[in-house]
Amino acid sequence: MRHLPFLGLMAAPFTPLNEKGDLNLDMVPLQANHLLKNGVKGVFVAGTTGECQSLTLQERMQLAQAWSVAAKGKLTFMIHVGHNSAREARELAKHAKSVGADAISSAAPCFFKPAAPADLVEFQAEVASAAPELPFYHYHIPLFTGVNGPVAPFLRMASKKIPNLVGVKYSHSDLSDLLECTILDNGRFEVLFGCDEMLLGAIAMGVRGAVGSTYNFAAPIYLEMMEAFEKGDVEKTRLLQEKSVAIVRLIQEFGGIPGGKALMGALGVECGPVRPPLHKLTKDEIQTLRDKFMVLSSISKLPNPHAV
């Protein structure tokens, strides 16, 4: 498949909900505008950060539709269609094509897990074939799927079965496997890195595109880091990655996705609460998080939540 690789940052947007826990799609255009202002080039919709496993099939389609309008002509638009049911994933893939997605991605099933790479290839081939015109990315995130093992052998095997396979969204810390993916078949496969706090290691291995949750509110740090790397300023890139690590640790302190949503609200883009079983932050927890983020903002190129 002829495909131009994605370069730059792709945010994994939070799914906006109201206080009742229903979709609040009026926020999607605000999210898109916020990302554009901060230099983000694309969106990875309905992934882990988007609470995909907590959404119904219809809600995922509604979310995709809303983003298709907000992203059109402005942001590269990739939709995660992964599902434990390959048939449901196929429906999401077909819908992604119908709303004009630029690409689709699918994580491995996480309940009944593939016992061997060939089983994973078979599953992903069934999903990808539902939208053969769209570039397909395997979504490797073993922390959540429990599907481990190196990705490079999967890509080698899958390339024979999935004509529209162009690469992998690599959300794992195995940098040796990551490197093998980037050089496999003379760089045939595109690798989008998904561990924000380790981006420096990935770009040092040739990665030029990344998908992450902290790009929703901290994109300037990463853009500056990537620019410094291209200029050969190793010390500056290291210091900027340290700031990224501090941000990620702060968000993790408040549950990851709940913390990220709280920060978006502080920046004027209210994404609401999370759905169970994720922990809904109290008002005091949200204020504590925002105060701590303000301290980081004062020493980093980040939007100041108190200036909104």
Taking the C-alpha atoms of residue 150 and residue 131, their distance in angstroms, rounded to an integer, is 26
Catalytic residue among 41, 137, 139, 170: 139
Q: Is residue 274 part of a domain?
A: no
**pLDDT tens string 134-154:** 999 999 999 999 999 999 999
**56 in a structural domain:** yes
What gap in Å lies between CA 13 and CA 52, rounded to an integer?
11
Specify whether 236 is catalytic.
no
Residue among 131, 137, 133 at smallest CA distance from 166: 137
Residue 226 lies in a domain: yes
Q: Determine, yes or no, domain membership for 301.
A: no
Question: In degrees rounded to 5, what are phi and psi of residue 23?
Answer: -60, 140
Q: Respond yes or no: is residue 139 known to be catalytic.
A: yes
Please check the confidence at residue 20 and state whether its pLDDT lies above 70. yes
pLDDT interval class at 230 (50, 70, 90):
very high
Confidence of residue 5 (pLDDT cuts 50, 70, 90): confident
Average pLDDT across the chain, whole number: 94
Helix (H, G, I), strand (E, B) or coil at 57: helix
Confidence class for position 251, pLDDT limits 50, 70, 90: very high
H, E, C per residue of 139-181:
EECHHHHCCCCCHHHHHHHHCCCCCCEEEEEECCCCHHHHHHH
Q: Facing residues of 122 across strands?
A: none
The predicted pLDDT at position 200 comes to 96
Tokens of 250: 């702060």
Model confidence band, residue 207 (pLDDT cutoffs 50, 70, 90): very high
**What's the whole-number mean pLDDT along residues 216-224?**
96
179 lies in some domain: yes
The Cα-based distances of 201 to 104, 194, 220 in angstroms read: 26, 12, 18
What whole-number distance in Å separates Cα of residue 104 and Cα of residue 214?
21
Q: Give the pLDDT confidence score for residue 308 in this predicted structure.
A: 41
Choice between 142 and 1, residue whose per-residue pLDDT is larger: 142
Residue 72 belongs to some domain of the structure = yes
- Provide the number of structural domains found in the chain: 1
What does the pLDDT read at residue 306?
46
**Res 4 pLDDT > 80:** no
What's this model's pTM, rounded to 2 decimal places?
0.94
From the DSSP assignment, how many helices (H) and strands (E) are in the chain? 12, 8
pLDDT on residue 118? 96
Residue 221 is part of which domain span?
A: 8-231
- For residue 255, being part of any structural domain is answered with no
Amino acid at site 218: A
Q: Residue 46 is part of a domain; what is its CATH number? A: 3.20.20.70
Highest mean pLDDT among 119-123, 293-297, 298-302: 119-123
Catalytic residue among 41, 72, 113, 169: 169
Cβ count within 10 A of residue 99 = 16
Asked whether the predicted pLDDT for residue 307 surpasses 50, the reply is no
Report yes or no on 184 lying in a domain.
yes
